[in-house]
Amino acid sequence: MEKQSHEHGGYQLPEIVVGDTDHARLTTLANAALETLPDTAEELLSELDRAKVVADESVPRHVVRMGSVVEFSSDNDRRRVTLVYPQEADIAAGKVSVLTPVGAALIGLSEGESISWTARDGSSHELTILSVTQPVQG
């Protein structure tokens, strides 16, 4: 099966997978944030637009989804964060909002994939997913 790929400024973007519940919630969230956080909201909508949307139970365990604990490397630094909705964000606790540039970049990526992202200060970075741990469903 051939992977779908997308160009972004001449850069090949990795295919991303998003569950249908996350896709619907995140689309609503990003649309609501267009006035207050236009750049990040547009980036998230762009990611969601190119995502392969699947049933929630069909999202592979190695794919970043909401609530996932993600270890990634970026700029020779390793970080371990939990991807959360904005109201749950707490940088000190390692909880990164999906409505941040790095959060929007993480959604839907698989272990081993890399993506370039632009920080709020305009600087470009690349991150690589090292591991993904899914939340315990309760």
User: Three-class SS string for 69-110?
Assistant: EEEEEECCEEEEEEEECHHHCEHHHCEEECCCHHHHHHCCCE
pTM above 0.85, yes or no: yes
Over residues 55-111, the pLDDT tens digits come to: 999 999 999 999 999 999 998 899 999 999 999 999 999 999 999 999 999 999 999
Percent of the chain with pLDDT over 70: 91
For the chain, what is the largest distance between any 2 Cα atoms, rounded to a whole number of angstroms? Answer: 42
Domains of the chain from N-terminus onward? 14-133 (3.10.50.30)
Q: What pLDDT does 135 receive?
A: 81
Quote the CA–CA distance of 106 and 102 in Å, as a whole number: 6
Mean pLDDT of the chain: 89
Q: Residue 26's closest CA among 12, 5, 41?
A: 41
Q: What pLDDT does 137 receive?
A: 60
Residue 60 has which token pair? 């592979």
E strand or H helix that includes residue 29: helix 20-32
E strand or H helix that includes residue 28: helix 20-32
